[in-house]
């Protein structure tokens, strides 16, 4: 049946005032899930805008940034999921819900076991660590690139009005330094697939954990 159900609860009571290790880990899982949802949402917006209007200034920088953040979030999610499943409270309670472990959590763990090294590799390729060597390569290989910098006289009060648009070209060159001999577009497509597959696993695991351990605590 279409529609949605919303529940409300005092978060201090929901999370037992921080005294439950299991609920603290479910809280971490929830935060990382929302992080990943935001990161993939931004990538989708960029892609749809490019399809409709063509490339815009800063697109490459934004793609690299949100790709990197999504990869970092997936790596962190794996650590949290492992910690959560190792808590005594989880071990005691999951006995009564073996289907959650079998159908939702184990597939997520298997995904991370299979793709863990690849996630870290992709994170580094897409600028996970902006190291001096990568920057030196970038600044030494942009003689055919025109960059842009802007200082806006009027700003919104949030920033100083400085726009270092040229940084997107440098980031692209840093990434290129790590992909020498590798097809960039194919690597980008591969990264998107790994992240999308990971998000599917994260969604399933998060939904199962939230429903099992939090849903009833938000009342009716």
Domain total for the chain? 1
Is residue 142 one of the residues assigned to a domain? no
What pLDDT, on a 0 to 100 scale, did the predictor assign at position 137? 84
What confidence tens digit (pLDDT) does each residue in 15-55 have?
Answer: 999 999 999 999 999 999 999 999 999 998 888 887 777 66
Cα 90 from Cα 96, distance rounded (Å) = 10
Q: Which residues contact 124 (CB under 8 A, 6 or more apart)?
A: 178
Is residue 214 one of the residues assigned to a domain? yes
Q: Which residues contact 204 (CB under 8 A, 6 or more apart)?
A: 104, 107, 108
Antiparallel, parallel or unpaired: β 150-151 and 162-163? antiparallel
Three-state secondary-structure class, residue 177: helix
Backbone angles phi, psi at 96, to 5 degrees: -85, -5
When pLDDT is averaged across residues 103-107 and rounded to a whole number, the result is 95
Cα 108 from Cα 213, distance rounded (Å) = 18
What pLDDT, on a 0 to 100 scale, did the predictor assign at position 220? 65
Average pLDDT, the chain: 87
When pLDDT is averaged across residues 144-164 and rounded to a whole number, the result is 76
Distances from the Cα of 61 to the Cαs of 9, 67, 143, 193, in angstroms? Answer: 39, 10, 19, 20
Three-state secondary-structure class, residue 151: strand
Token pair in block for residue 92: 């005691």
Cα 143 from Cα 169, distance rounded (Å) = 11
- Which domain covers residue 97, as residue numbers? 11-128+184-218
Is residue 171 one of the residues assigned to a domain? no
Is residue 73 one of the residues assigned to a domain? yes
Helix (H) or strand (E) holding 36: helix 21-53
What confidence tens digit (pLDDT) does each residue in 127-150 have?
Answer: 676 778 888 888 898 898 888 888
Is residue 2 one of the residues assigned to a domain? no
Is residue 145 one of the residues assigned to a domain? no
Is residue 174 one of the residues assigned to a domain? no
Cα 112 from Cα 106, distance rounded (Å) = 10
- pLDDT: which is higher, 68 or 95: 95
Confidence of residue 2 (pLDDT cuts 50, 70, 90): low
Residue 159's DSSP bridge partners are none
Cβ atoms of 104 and 42 within 8 Å: the answer is no
What pLDDT, on a 0 to 100 scale, did the predictor assign at position 32? 96
What pLDDT, on a 0 to 100 scale, did the predictor assign at position 8? 92
């Amino acid at each position: 049946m279409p529609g949605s159900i919303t529940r409300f609860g005092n978060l201090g009571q929901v999370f037992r005032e921080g005294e439950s290790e299991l609920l603290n880990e479910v809280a971490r899982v929830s935060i990382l899930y929302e992080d990943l949802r935001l990161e993939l949402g931004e990538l989708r917006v960029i892609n749809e805008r490019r399809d409709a209007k063509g490339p815009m200034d800063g697109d490459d920088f934004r793609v690299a940034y949100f790709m990197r953040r999504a990869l970092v979030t997936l790596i962190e999610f794996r650590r949290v999921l492992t910690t959560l499943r190792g808590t005594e409270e989880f071990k005691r309670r999951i006995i009564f819900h073996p289907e959650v472990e079998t159908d939702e959590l184990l597939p997520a763990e298997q995904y991370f076991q299979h793709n863990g090294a690849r996630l870290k590799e992709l994170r580094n390729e897409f600028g996970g660590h902006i190291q001096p060597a990568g920057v030196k390569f970038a600044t030494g290989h942009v003689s055919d690139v025109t960059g842009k910098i802007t200082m806006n006289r009027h700003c919104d009060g949030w920033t100083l009005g400085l726009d270092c648009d040229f940084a997107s070209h440098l980031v692209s060159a840093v990434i290129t330094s790590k992909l020498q001999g590798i097809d960039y577009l194919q690597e980008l497509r591969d990264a998107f697939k790994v992240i999308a597959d990971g998000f599917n696993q994260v969604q399933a695991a998060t939904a199962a954990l939230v429903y099992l351990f939090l849903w009833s605590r938000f009342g009716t």
